[in-house]
Structure 1
Amino acid sequence: MSSSSSMKIFKAKMDHWTSRISLLFFGFSLSSCSRFPLRQYHYVDSAKSWYEARQSCRENFTDLATFESMDDINRLQPPFKNTQAWIGLWDDPNAWQTSMGNQSNSWRWSATGETSKTGFKSWYSPNPDFYRGGETCVIIRNKGVWGDIDCASSLGFLCFNVTEQNQKVYFYIGQSLSWSSAQNYCREHYLDLAMIENQEENTRAGSAAPSSPLTWIGLYREPWTWSDQSHSTFRNNNPAGLTNPSGGHCVLENTDGHLWDNQDCSVKNRFICQQVSRMRTTFRLKLLSQVDLSDPAVKSQILQQLSALLTKDGWSDFNLQWTVKPQKTP
């Protein structure tokens, strides 16, 4: 971190007020700070399951290791070589395998981008199984049963519209497309890929699908989350991808080039913890406004605006608090 201070001026126009707010930011030079917060990595030479490793890291450090870039990977020093070790990336099966869930890696509907409101599901065994770490889009068969397969597969698909009576109507398109291309087609010609929220809708969708071919519907998910709830999208997977068949819901850092692969979470391996160095700074706020700063809604709106600006500027894992400096008495 550079010892020199820098100032950044943010201007945010509030949604519910016409006044303009200028936020003056002091204290850091983000351009000279490659990561915030700074993570220090610790190799633990003790074989544990992923769950045991997470508990140990949380008790003795901050959490299992999160990586945000190759810079983080390159900071791994010996003895981080020639071994396998758990890191913090995993795909909790309780969020998508046993229920529809409402976690970040749970199933979502294309039409809303949100997790299921009703919890309805119609899987056929052993689906969903996330086979070889690559099945995150859903098909329906003629009898109304669902399965998860690779989103890059070329298949026919179901689109839907909604009538004035708020009833979904399903349309089969026989053109073979990937899931994302099918989504684009449905959004252009109908409402979206098929959304199914109850048994009656599932029966009609199954009837609209052909008797034998697999058919896309609008169910999908984004797999893998970090133990520390980081939003990092960085991956350093093997070129072949995460290749372990069903059961591999946790990620190992492997020997060759620190590449990653998935593994059964119950297998005992060494692991890498992280210690997060948290820093504190102060925002000096200059307000050119007639709004009432004692109003909690106003404070909340300002913090939301500032949080969005910091996130856009590359900050992560930060916490904002509002304090008002007491006025000097004359």
Structure 2
Amino acid sequence: MDCYATLILLFFGFSFSSCYRFPLRKYYYINTLMTWSDAQHYCREKYTDLATFESVDDFKRLKPDFSYSWAWIGLKDDPKSWKGVMGNDTNSWRWSATSKTSQTGYHNWKGGDPNSGGGKENCVIMGSTRGWHDVSCQSLKSFVCYTATNQNEKTYVFISASKTWHSAQAYCREHYTDLPTIENTKENSDVYSAKPGNAQAWIGLYRVPWTWSDNTQSSFRFWRSGCPDNYLGNQFCVVENSLHEWNDINCPYKFPFICHQVLRLRTMIKMKIQSDADLADPATNIQILKQLGAELTSKGWTDFNLQWKMQPRKQEEKKLGEY
């Protein structure tokens, strides 16, 4: 026999949609001098996190009485994720062919690299000694492409034409497989052997620097002219001025800072469910909520919680009788 129940579904969370941009954030200026790490800890304890900005519209949510020369925001390029290591964080080195971080952790950095010189060295060449060096992706270099066979073997070819890293990537993907992935000493030697010994050549290693403290995946940036520049090689945290222009600076310096609090939405949805199952059974309720959650996730909703309240059975039966 079919069972009917009217459920009041309580939805807590946010999503991304074409009509409204979530999450909405409320910003708080903290006029206390702290290092970037201490400011992050404070914001996570008192609010949600150090400030994340995803568009210029977010700047409008700062109160008019905000007044500061420089203040920390939540953007950082943690050198522990990329300096002399391969790492597995969002700002770590990745291979062009997979867009993923290294599987083996193998690397062959030379000459003090990588050092993010000038704050703009996010692509990698192989030099004359088999060693790797980070350089600007806009530099013009020759490069090596590879072709993968069905037997999982790779053949390498040297291209003498000078191109930027992204142009070299596009060329390799059009004519071969990709720029080379190097996960061990043998592959490093094979790529080296494919090029003239003194040539500098692009390989498939790159990274996307800077990550938000709350792990928001946003590429929005509002750098001050000439920034980031990683002056003296130690500027891995970001401050903004009263014009909302950003500058990279040493993380141990002390500045006031901006926190944000995510404003969550509470939505109530009334739905009628027909089922052979006992809808009053807690296990059935949990299963239905899981199915609803999976459906919402597939539609692009994120970071939400679902709860419901079931209307009393007598009240529901009375309403059904009225029809």
- What's the TM-score bracket when you normalise by the shorter of the two chains? 0.7 to 0.9
Query: Does the 8 A contact of 1:142 with 1:208 survive in 2?
Result: no
Separation in structure 1 between the aligned mates of residue 172 and residue 272 of structure 2, nearest angstrom: 48
* TM-score computed with the length of structure 2 as normaliser: 0.80
Residues 1:45 and 1:325: Cα distance change in structure 2 (over 3 Å): same
- Partner residue of 2:237 out of 238, 250, 254: 250
In structure 2, what residue type is equivalent to 1:224? W
In structure 1, what residue type is equivalent to 2:167? S
Once the two structures are TM-superposed, the CA of residue 276 in structure 1 deviates from its matched residue by 2.0
Residues 1:305 and 1:179: Cα distance change in structure 2 (over 3 Å): farther
- 1:87 and 2:77 are equivalent in the alignment: no
With 297-306 and 73-82 compared, the bigger mean Cα shift is at: 297-306
- Percent identity of the aligned residues? 45
Q: Which residue of 2 aligns with 1:183?
A: 169
Larger RCO (CA under 8 A, 6+ residues apart)? 2
Once the two structures are TM-superposed, the CA of residue 38 in structure 1 deviates from its matched residue by 2.4
Aligned pairs for 1:1-330 within 5 A: 35-245=21-231, 246-255=233-242, 257-282=243-268, 303-310=293-300, 318-321=303-306, 328=313
Structure 1 unaligned runs (5+)? 1-23, 312-316
Residues 1:26 and 1:39: Cα distance change in structure 2 (over 3 Å): closer
Q: Whose Rg is larger?
A: 2
Once the two structures are TM-superposed, the CA of residue 155 in structure 1 deviates from its matched residue by 0.8
Q: Report the aligned-residue RMSD.
A: 3.4
User: Residues 108-129 of structure 1, C-alpha deviation per residue, up to 9 Å, x if partnerless?
Assistant: 1111111111111111132111
Work out the number of aligned pairs and report it: 299
With 172-181 and 274-283 compared, the bigger mean Cα shift is at: 274-283
Q: Which residue of 2 aligns with 1:14?
A: none
Separation in structure 2 between the aligned mates of residue 188 and residue 251 of structure 1, nearest angstrom: 38
Residues 1:163 and 1:30: Cα distance change in structure 2 (over 3 Å): closer
Residues 1:71 and 1:123: Cα distance change in structure 2 (over 3 Å): same
Separation in structure 2 between the aligned mates of residue 282 and residue 323 of structure 1, nearest angstrom: 9
Query: Does the 8 A contact of 1:141 with 1:209 survive in 2?
Result: no
Residues 1:211 and 1:297: Cα distance change in structure 2 (over 3 Å): farther
SS in 2 for 1:87: strand
* TM-score computed with the length of structure 1 as normaliser: 0.79
